[in-house]
Amino acid sequence: MSQGLHLLYWVFGILVCLNVSLVKADDPYRYYTWTVTYGTLAPLGIPQQVILINGQFPGPQLEVVTNDNIILNLINKLDEPFLLTWNGIKQRKNSWQDGVLGTNCPIPPNSNYTYKFQTKDQIGTYTYFPSTAMHKAGGGYGGLNVYKRAPIPLPYPFPDGDFTLLIGDWYKTSHKVLQKSLDSGNALPFPDAVLINGQTHSSFNGDQGKTYMFRISNVGLSTSINFRIQGHKMKLVEVEGSHTIQNLYDSLDIHVGQSAAVLVTLNQPPKDYYIVASTRFTKHVLTATSVLHYTNSHTPVSGPLPVGPTYELHWSMQQARTLRWNLTANAARPNPQGSFHYGKIIPTRTIVLANSAPLINGKQRYAVNRVSYVNADTPLKLADYFNIPGVYSISSVQGPSEGPPLVATSVMPAFHHDFIEFVFQNNEKEIQSWHLDGYDFWIVGYGSRQWSKSCRRSYNLIDTLTRHTVQVYPNSWTAILVSLDNQGMWNIRSAAWARQYMGQQFYLRVWDRVQNLANEYGIPSNALLCGKAMGKHA
């Protein structure tokens, strides 16, 4: 063997050893086993049945890093089928793992399913929760925080601590009783309280002079909340994975299904301060409080609660318009967030989605473009894979139309790499909240009354945020742009869970004529089969 060839083999061996060492030092796989059970707790002082994960309420907090692979074995010990969905995780090329009834068979009682997904090119504040029935009303939700990889800088100093606050409305009534009432044709009643991390009272400790990140998520069923901290300004730095222009706020509106992260510097005299979450746009305001405790404090919390905004939709809409993208910051990958010029692309289609609350056969339902969705026994994704006809309709929800409301398993077809303008038109007196699985989208405009093409003159085509859930104010519209770069079957739904449960949702089938693994992963080897797919071979 020549000396040069020997040297080449030696260098190759060193590189192989180095690579093995690096893999061992930074393993990209994280393994979890979660067991879902019922339990009895009294968050409002009255014992009630709740849904626990590994005995916890709220469930375990997932702390992962960009591009980590999650292998999570979920064991269902409830007395009915169950699924978790990963709110805001894009599931790149992998709607098989989305955890909703259009893509996954629910996990039967005393059975399990192993989710396998990657937090691909994401960073930020997210949540998970049950997508089946009205389980979300019983708990089963938790925080999912995706942290940056070491080489990627943050556009702010690394905080001295990190707090996750899961805030939402809560009922004394069990999820089964609420579901039975909805099935009987009743609307969801007004909630009994607001909880912060499953409690009516809690505390967060920090050192004077230090800066802490508060990750705030609205995990409730139907109610917008306003969040504020007595005597402290909040610097907004991230919204559902987007680094923001770092404006200071006295309070923030956070709508159902949304998440945001703020930095708070403990720069006040050492004492205890109120943390307040109160309902928005409700005649009766519900309030939950926690305590921000300075570790050198000897003074308990006192004084009136900090006052939130009044019932002013205009105030909330104006605040929403101040949320802007930080175009100079890196995202989960080392490229500026604003390098994709969404405002210079002409949409291939404009789709108006009008929500409504019709009575169908004398029962309260909710609809999109007069179509109230009903779940099929066979997940739509499996129907596609096995070429099973008659499972869903692709012609029922294409746009606003005249006529009586109807029920259907509605799917909207779209092509891979289309660039779509969606307009959510809300002609009701209640605020709406809409979520799209599999994507972030640009929120380009909010406006009152009816949307028209002339409304585009008010769009922000420069630095609007991307996020996965957007509010639509009463008698108003919200416009978004989305690049359909993620093939699959994706749920578009009301984030107000009773509305979703009673039909205000549909699926977006993002399709490519050329089928290959570069566009979408194949069916998982452990996929559960049900309905008309039972007995098929994956």
pLDDT bracket for residue 13 (50, 70, 90): very low
**pTM for this model (two decimals):** 0.93
- The predicted pLDDT at position 397 comes to 83
Average pLDDT taken over every residue of the chain: 93
Judged by average pLDDT, the poorest of 49-53, 408-412, 510-514 is 510-514
pLDDT bracket for residue 142 (50, 70, 90): very high
Contact 160, 207 (CB under 8 A): yes
pLDDT at 127 > cutoff 90: yes
CA 506 to each of CA 101, 393, 427, 525: distance values in angstroms, whole numbers, following the listed order: 11, 10, 19, 27
Tell me the mean pLDDT in the region 286-293.
98
CA–CA dist 272, 297 (Å, integer): 7
Tokens of 273: 């301060």
Tell me the mean pLDDT in the region 128-143.
98
**Non-local CB neighbours of 34 within 8 Å, separated by 6+ positions:** 53, 54, 59, 60, 72, 73, 74, 75
pLDDT bracket for residue 525 (50, 70, 90): very high
Contact 36, 131 (CB under 8 A): no
- The predicted pLDDT at position 436 comes to 98
CA–CA dist 72, 29 (Å, integer): 10
Contact 476, 446 (CB under 8 A): yes
Q: 335-368 burial, b for 16+ CB within 10 Å, e for fewer? A: eebbeeebeeeeeeeebbbbbbbeebeeebbbbb
pLDDT bracket for residue 30 (50, 70, 90): very high
pLDDT bracket for residue 233 (50, 70, 90): very high
How do residues 329-386 score in pLDDT, each as one tens digit?
888 877 666 556 899 999 999 999 999 999 999 999 999 999 999 999 999 999 999 9
* Long-range contact set of residues 313-316: C-beta below 8 Å, sequence gap at least 24: 313/281, 313/431, 313/473, 313/474, 313/476, 316/224, 316/253, 316/280, 316/281, 316/471, 316/473
How do residues 301-333 score in pLDDT, each as one tens digit?
998 999 999 778 999 999 999 999 998 888 887
pLDDT at 4 > cutoff 60: no
Handedness of CA 89, 371, 508, 422 (dihedral sign): negative
Q: Which CATH class is domain 342-533?
A: mainly beta
pLDDT at 46 > cutoff 80: yes
pLDDT at 5 > cutoff 80: no
How do residues 174-192 score in pLDDT, each as one tens digit?
999 999 999 999 999 999 9
Ranges of each domain in the chain: 342-533
Nearest partner of 505 among 414, 409, 438, judged by Cα: 409
Helix (H, G, I), strand (E, B) or coil at 18: helix
Tokens of 362: 């004398």
pLDDT at 202 > cutoff 50: yes
Tell me the mean pLDDT in the region 6-24.
38
Which residues are registered as beta bridge partners of 141? Answer: none
Alpha-helical segments (H) within 136-291:
175-183
Which residues are registered as beta bridge partners of 352? Answer: 423
Contact 83, 131 (CB under 8 A): yes
Tokens of 99: 């955890």
CA 201 to each of CA 106, 188, 225: distance values in angstroms, whole numbers, following the listed order: 34, 25, 16
Contact 75, 36 (CB under 8 A): yes
pLDDT bracket for residue 37 (50, 70, 90): very high
pLDDT at 17 > cutoff 80: no
How do residues 437-453 score in pLDDT, each as one tens digit?
999 999 999 999 999 99
Nearest partner of 239 among 124, 67, 321, 122, judged by Cα: 124
pLDDT bracket for residue 48 (50, 70, 90): very high
Alpha-helical segments (H) within 363-482:
380-385
How many of the other CB atoms lie within 10 Å of CB of 399?
A: 12
The number of residues in the chain equals 538
**Helical (H) or strand (E) element with 433:** strand 432-436
Contact 531, 398 (CB under 8 A): no
Which residues are registered as beta bridge partners of 362? Answer: none
Helix (H, G, I), strand (E, B) or coil at 126: strand
pLDDT at 159 > cutoff 50: yes
Amino acid at 206: G
